[in-house]
Structure 1
Amino acid sequence: MVYLKEMRIKSLTPQVLLLVFLVVLHLFPIWIFTYFPTQDGSSHIYNSYVLKEYHKHTNYRLREIYSLNLLLFPNWSSQMIMTAFMHIVPPIICEKIVVSLSIGLLPLAFLYFLYGIDQRRMNFGLGLVGFIFSYHYLLHMGFYNFSLSLPMFFFSLGFWWRHKTRLTLPRLGILYLLLLLTYLSHFQSFLQLVVIMTCFAIYSHLYIILTDTCLSKDSINWKQVLNGLLPLVHFVGFMLPIYFIMLAYYLSSTVGYQQNHWQFTHLLEYFFDMKSMVYYSDKHIIVGQLVLVMLAIAFLLTVWDRIQRVIHRDRDQPIWVSVIDGKEQFLLAAGGLTWLFFYVPWSVESGGGWINDRVHIYIFLVLIPFFTTNMHFYIRHTFTIVITLLTLYHFGLTAHAYYHLDRETSEMTTAVDKIEPHSTLTFRSSLWDGPAHRTSSYIGPIKYTSPFLHVPAFYCIGNGSVFLNNYEAELPYFPINYKTNPDRWIKSADYVLAWRMENHHDQPDLERSYERIHSGIAYSLYQRRKTDKAIDWQKQSFDQLLYDFQPAGAPHQANSIVVEPNICYREHGYGWVTVSNRNGQYNNATEEFPDRDFVTDHFDGVFKIDLPNGQYQVKVQFASSPTPKPVRLNLIANGKKVISNRILPTQNDLVIHSYTLEITDGQLTQIIYVKQEKRFESKWQWSSCYIKRIGD
């Protein structure tokens, strides 16, 4: 790392060894335990999985219920990282990568920032505060995007500070990239970064002009003063695109919405109890308060250092030159953030929440460069020892909770393999997010986060199933959204998870339509009862089936089973699985030619039939009609693509395709879709499906 070179470290000094040890130590529990216990983390894993799998037409449930929101808004970083790594490693490992980046990069980015400000006056021990803040409340809420934005904030600010006087074109490109990554991680961090950078630029240039002018023995040279302002003009110039992005998103996200404010007493308690570092219990408060004491001592030492500078100053210099050295901007920035903490709302109706929490964590980290605490060997090492001990205690409390919460989460997910592919799952809880819901069987009440709240999302990862209580899909600043209100599917969900109920016995309304297939300590899993509608081939006088797709009331083929657009699979043992705007159409169908009608849609259609296991020959027939562009038809049968981009005629015609397959799970699931063209809505037109059994 660059800052290591600036510390003139040429070998494994105690500082480097301590730094490496603390990084490895803080990452160790992330990888040794199966689950990382956060409130929203499992939801982020699931939605990243949906993002990865959505393009596959075999995942028809995901495509039916969800839509993609692919605008490049903030809140993208963790999803992009996890989705990318899911092509290589399992989903739960992807979460560990994101969490490791959040925890491991923050102290390194913070040290990079500090040593870029003033290496000579920097106290390494104070820089270790970044490790304490790396295990913070918002990380354990599962706010991964914000957690990633923290190191990006300090990398960006540190990089700009180092190169602000010699910002070449390549360096400007790197700065833009860092700012963009911060924006894609979280808007509040991006907003604070841009405002603080601007304030620092103004203060730094005005400070240089003021000191040069006041210390000069010549009269004021206004031309020289104006020339001193040119770098500030250049700064504003290259920041204009950043200002535009910031204002555009801010105005579109915050104006005209209801705001919710915390009471002042609550804010005061949060501030001095350092609640941004408290998540499982109040045991963490003592760590934050002792950090606050260390920062107060650092402040007093800084004041003492400036008094000494005044006493030993050159008598020809004004007192203010010895008192003010340019580092006051960090004190002013921390003061501005403190004012912001007490002034801003906790949330706005447009979706932004935990605003005070996000401000609080920056106040003390931005303040630290103001301090001068390395005036004596014993002071430097005292800070290092005390901060290290506080870090270890904070880590120990957290690792102990990780161990027990991992055990409990593992027990809660023992039935994930009982969910059939492409199902829908909802959950019920009479203790929704209350104190009892947040109580662990091992460590007792969990006060500030709900690590079990979204654990049910694990039941839908890896099987193409839909989690119908997906809160992210209801919000516009996440990449996965519901197409329509999920209530229409919740009422007929394939599975219900009775989650942390006060009464774990069968619920009366569930007994009618569901059967309990698994019970754990704090939950029961129910599956909708199945009615065996499969054709009993041994008792029938025929060995073939013909399904005629048509609108209601249209002529149908002899000895055929009529399939109308609203025929539901669950009720008949055959029919449509997905819910969409399918409709039936006539295409010159008559009693003589009844196969000229069809069912059509431009969304994927999923038609399922219960059949005994065996070998089958299937013949499907599609209708074509005059279209401005050719229609490219695709058909997937039981996961195998049997028709690939077949171009249909652009006039009225019938197209027939035959294939054979072996059924091993008692079902034939056919997925039909067409490749959509720009400025033209293609539709499939399914006329009939003929099935013949050819072997066992």
Structure 2
Amino acid sequence: MEIAEEVSAVDLIEPHTTYTIRSPSWNKSDSLGVVKYVAPFVHAVALYGTVNKDIGHLANYEASYNYFPVNHFNHSYYSGKEDYVIAWAYPEAEEFSDLTPNFDLIHSIKNLKVFRRKQTNDLDLSAWYQADDGRLAIKFDFQGSSSELANGCQLVTKDHRYTYGKFGWVTQPPHTEFSGDKKIDSLPRDCVSGTQDGVFKLNLPNGDYRITSYFCSVDAGEHKVYLMANSRKVIKKLIVPSDKAVIKRTYAVNVTDRELTQVIYTSRERVQRGTGKHNHWVWNGFVIEKSQTNSQL
């Protein structure tokens, strides 16, 4: 019964989020007293990371060791940025004073409390503009901070971290920024890249959108790219050639929770093999336009 109570809120953890856990004692049981040698309740909370897609369990030690079948990610990047905190077996008098300024209590029963980081209700649309046909739109140029910004674009470097209501990387930032030949158009001229999955989140009004992503190899290498948008795979095994050709891919996305989360990644082979074939993805930028006219910014 205690394990059932502990995992009773798994459906509350939303996709593309992270959580951490805490307890004054993972060994204490209402029915068994103090359990020796093992901590049964510390393992059950791992279930919170499996019910919905793309959830990071920040206290999962297995990700630090190569003999567990768990993808590694940089826990230190998320320090102080977890979306949820799962608290177990605290006394009733516990006030959680370190959490209450930044978190809301969204679930509370006998031994279990779940906190969610406070979210802003306001969208910051100051970077958006209205296209000639009245559609709401925004452009992103992925590049280094010293590169030339494409006209009308928002600058996104590898270190541009996500903030609620706006946009940015929610994972460990991409590893590298590249600047390309000035003969290439300004938006696809530069790029960010990485071997680990990159997750870029944008807050926006609900509705249907058309997205055009740009890919161009500016490091004389061939790249393989996959991309997901709101949990749907929209680009599969795209080969970005080494000849500086600009590749554009357009796809449609329906937004229902005021979030667009795009995940870019390469194949599981993380070792560079063969001349000219690089083992990292590249992303030069994207343009997003609302499919229906929206006259309000």
Q: TM class, shorter-chain normalised?
A: 0.7 to 0.9
**Higher strand proportion (structure 1 or 2):** 2
C-alpha distance 586-641 of structure 1, shift in aligned 2 (>3 A): same
Contact in 2 for aligned 1:427/1:497 (Cα 8 Å): yes
Note the 1:160-309 alignment, pairs <5 A: none
| Residue in 2 that maps onto 1:509 | 98
| Residue in 2 that maps onto 1:562 | 155
Q: How far does residue 546 in structure 1 lie from its aligned partner after superposition?
A: 0.9
Contact in 1 for aligned 2:123/2:203 (Cα 8 Å): yes
Amino acid at match of 1:523: L
Note the 1:233-632 alignment, pairs <5 A: 407-430=1-24, 432-433=25-26, 437-440=27-30, 443=31, 445-448=33-36, 449-463=38-52, 464-474=54-64, 478-480=68-70, 482-484=72-74, 486-503=75-92, 505-532=94-121, 534-536=123-125, 543-570=136-163, 573-589=166-182, 593=186, 595-625=188-218, 627=220, 630-632=222-224
Q: 1:684 aligns with which of 277, 281, 290?
A: 281
Q: Secondary structure at the match of 2:291?
A: strand
- Structure 1 stretches (4+) deviating beyond 6 angstroms? none
Report the identity percentage: 30
Contact in 2 for aligned 1:426/1:490 (Cα 8 Å): no
Q: Secondary structure at the match of 1:569?
A: coil
For 2:183 and 2:164, how far apart are their aligned partners in 1? Answer: 29
TM-score when normalising by structure 1: 0.37
Contact in 1 for aligned 2:214/2:248 (Cα 8 Å): yes
Deviations 1:267-325 (A, max 9, x none): xxxxxxxxxxxxxxxxxxxxxxxxxxxxxxxxxxxxxxxxxxxxxxxxxxxxxxxxxxx
For 1:581 and 1:692, how far apart are their aligned partners in 2? Answer: 25
Q: How far does residue 474 in structure 1 lie from its aligned partner after superposition?
A: 4.8
Q: Secondary structure at the match of 2:163?
A: helix
Deviations 1:662-682 (A, max 9, x none): 222222222222334635533
C-alpha distance 647-475 of structure 1, shift in aligned 2 (>3 A): closer
For 2:184 and 2:220, how far apart are their aligned partners in 1? Answer: 26
Amino acid at match of 1:445: G
Contact in 1 for aligned 2:169/2:200 (Cα 8 Å): yes
C-alpha distance 648-592 of structure 1, shift in aligned 2 (>3 A): closer
Deviations 1:565-611 (A, max 9, x none): 11112356211121044322210348984541222223322222111
Task: Could you tell me which runs of 5 or more consecutive residues in structure 1 were left unpaired when the two chains were aligned.
Answer: 1-406
For 2:279 and 2:141, how far apart are their aligned partners in 1? Answer: 22
Deviations 1:512-571 (A, max 9, x none): 22111111111311111123463559x965521111111103211222211111111235
C-alpha distance 500-521 of structure 1, shift in aligned 2 (>3 A): same
C-alpha distance 504-621 of structure 1, shift in aligned 2 (>3 A): farther
Contact in 1 for aligned 2:11/2:51 (Cα 8 Å): no
Q: How far does residue 684 in structure 1 lie from its aligned partner after superposition?
A: 2.6
C-alpha distance 492-535 of structure 1, shift in aligned 2 (>3 A): closer
C-alpha distance 691-450 of structure 1, shift in aligned 2 (>3 A): closer
Q: Secondary structure at the match of 1:452?
A: helix
For 2:34 and 2:73, how far apart are their aligned partners in 1? Answer: 35
**Higher helix proportion (structure 1 or 2):** 1
TM-score when normalising by structure 2: 0.81
Q: 1:673 aligns with which of 262, 265, 269?
A: 265
> Which stretch shifts more, 657-666 or 464-473?
464-473
For 1:673 and 1:453, how far apart are their aligned partners in 2? Answer: 31
Contact in 1 for aligned 2:174/2:198 (Cα 8 Å): no
Q: Secondary structure at the match of 2:100?
A: helix
Q: How far does residue 613 in structure 1 lie from its aligned partner after superposition?
A: 1.3
Contact in 2 for aligned 1:545/1:691 (Cα 8 Å): yes
C-alpha distance 476-669 of structure 1, shift in aligned 2 (>3 A): closer
Q: How far does residue 491 in structure 1 lie from its aligned partner after superposition?
A: 2.6
Amino acid at match of 2:158: P
Contact in 2 for aligned 1:413/1:459 (Cα 8 Å): yes
For 1:626 and 1:476, how far apart are their aligned partners in 2? Answer: 30
Contact in 1 for aligned 2:189/2:218 (Cα 8 Å): no
C-alpha distance 458-601 of structure 1, shift in aligned 2 (>3 A): closer
C-alpha distance 499-507 of structure 1, shift in aligned 2 (>3 A): same
- Structure 1 or 2, whichever has the larger Rg, is 1
Contact in 1 for aligned 2:212/2:249 (Cα 8 Å): yes
Contact in 1 for aligned 2:129/2:138 (Cα 8 Å): no
C-alpha distance 688-493 of structure 1, shift in aligned 2 (>3 A): same
Q: How far does residue 510 in structure 1 lie from its aligned partner after superposition?
A: 0.7
Amino acid at match of 1:422: H
Deviations 1:22-77 (A, max 9, x none): xxxxxxxxxxxxxxxxxxxxxxxxxxxxxxxxxxxxxxxxxxxxxxxxxxxxxxxx
Q: How far does residue 467 in structure 1 lie from its aligned partner after superposition?
A: 2.1
Deviations 1:451-508 (A, max 9, x none): 3232322222222322222244455654447455x35434321111122123554412
Contact in 2 for aligned 1:624/1:655 (Cα 8 Å): no
Contact in 1 for aligned 2:223/2:278 (Cα 8 Å): no
Task: Could you tell me which runs of 5 or more consecutive residues in structure 2 were left unpaired when the two chains were aligned.
Answer: none
Q: Secondary structure at the match of 1:644?
A: strand
Deviations 1:599-636 (A, max 9, x none): 222332222211111121111111124646x4332222
Q: Secondary structure at the match of 2:113?
A: strand
For 2:93 and 2:50, how far apart are their aligned partners in 1? Answer: 25
Amino acid at match of 1:692: E
